[in-house]
Amino acid sequence: MSLGTPLRTSARSRRRRRYALVLVTTLVVASIAAVVGLTTGSFHASLEQVASALTGEGDGRTTVVVVGLRVPRVLAALAIGAALGLAGAVFQTLARNPLASPDIIGFSAGSATGSLVGLTLLAPAASPAAGAWMGGLLTVLVVMAIARSVGISRERTVLAGIALSTLLSAVNDYLLTRAPLEIARNATQWLHGSLAATSFDDVALLFASIGILSLVLVAVYRDFRALELGDDTAVALGVRTGRVRVLLIVVAALLTGAATAVAGPIGFIALAAPQLARRTMGATGIPLVGSAVTGAAVLLVADVIAQRALAPLQIPVGLVTAVVGGAYLFWIVSRRRR
């Protein structure tokens, strides 16, 4: 046995310990944020009151506030953050670019356009969820059709998505100017990303969607990791790169659509969570589980800040993530220049 073998084994062991430590720490942060989200606010509830409400033994007011309002919001933040973290990890792995995300490639804008069409032109009183799903799926089809017309590659797919995102943003602005004032106000709040109106039905939709799509990712996990090594290596390993790439893009787009359908387009999470997970966990590639856990924790913390920073005024969580996302982009640019 060569000297390099025990050294490689030791390095892998250290990476695994670091991965586990950071993963546990992130889960602890998410747990603390969840406790803060459940107990604080205009109506303060102690841990005992929260526990009683969750077990069905609390008084009526506490049960309504904790179980009816706060629990769905916390669960939705965790699920949406995990979905966006997974989507970002897939996009960045396929593009091998830390700036690739559903926000930049156009899927978030497409989901928003679908919702706005429904709210402003078809059924103003309806939920924006159905429109978000349809808009996201149509955007996937258009991006893939544009890329396929000249041969699918990560560069063409990203460029097609950026171009389409720019066009859809203009369409969104036009729809807002044509909508009645009340509808435009509600649509604008939704476009900023908000978890204020989430319900257990939304949570059920999120968990079902994430569960099914995660099973697809598990089924193609080997091919996914092979693509990380480059197309030539993946082909040598027997991976059908074109089909697998299309499947992964569709899965990532559907994850984004599920998140957008519930809370509107929330930026930064899909962009930064995978890179935060990779850097803090010391992974050689972008970890899927780490990205999901990091995205869930970051979005939940951001939502708690959005609720409590200017209390009693609550701001959309998308505004908080946008501020952090801008700082993150400046940091990426400064590192690349150096």
Phi/psi-derived region of residue 56, left when phi > 0, alpha when psi is between -120 and 50, beta in every other case:
left
Q: How far apart are CA 177 and CA 179, in angstroms?
A: 6
The H-or-E segment that residue 9 falls in is helix 4-39
Rg of the chain over Cα atoms, rounded to whole angstroms, equals 21
pLDDT at 1: 45
- Six token digits for residue 168: 């859809």
Q: How far apart are CA 46 and CA 134, in angstroms?
A: 42
In this predicted structure, the answer to whether residue 73 has a pLDDT above a threshold of 70 is: yes
In this predicted structure, the answer to whether residue 61 has a pLDDT above a threshold of 60 is: yes
Of the two residues 34 and 9, the one the predictor is more confident about is 34
Residue that is written with structure tokens 């990779």 in the block:
278
Which band of pLDDT confidence, cut at 50, 70 and 90, is reported for residue 3? very low
Q: How far apart are CA 111 and CA 226, in angstroms?
A: 30
In this predicted structure, the answer to whether residue 59 has a pLDDT above a threshold of 50 is: yes
- Six token digits for residue 232: 């030539």
Measured CA distances, 174 to 161, 168, 169 (Å): 20, 10, 9
pLDDT at 178: 80
User: Tens of pLDDT along 268-311?
Assistant: 899 889 988 998 888 778 899 999 999 999 999 999 999 988 77
Spatial CA neighbour of 84 closest among 105, 67, 70, 64: 105
User: Tens of pLDDT along 246-270?
Assistant: 888 888 888 888 888 888 889 889 9
For the entire predicted model, the pTM comes to 0.88
User: Tens of pLDDT along 210-243?
Assistant: 999 999 999 998 888 888 877 778 888 788 877 8
Which parts of 78-170 are beta strand (E)?
none
Q: How far apart are CA 274 and CA 269, in angstroms?
A: 8
User: Tens of pLDDT along 182-192?
Assistant: 777 777 777 88
Query: Lowest-confidence range among 47-56, 160-169, 212-221, 270-279?
Result: 160-169
The residues near 47 (Cβ < 8 Å, ≥ 6 apart) are: 35, 39
Domains of the chain: 4-337 (1.10.3470.10)
Spatial CA neighbour of 105 closest among 155, 160, 153, 29: 160
User: Does residue 128 have a cis peptide bond before it, meaning omega lies within 30 degrees of 0?
Assistant: no
Spatial CA neighbour of 179 closest among 115, 242, 261: 115
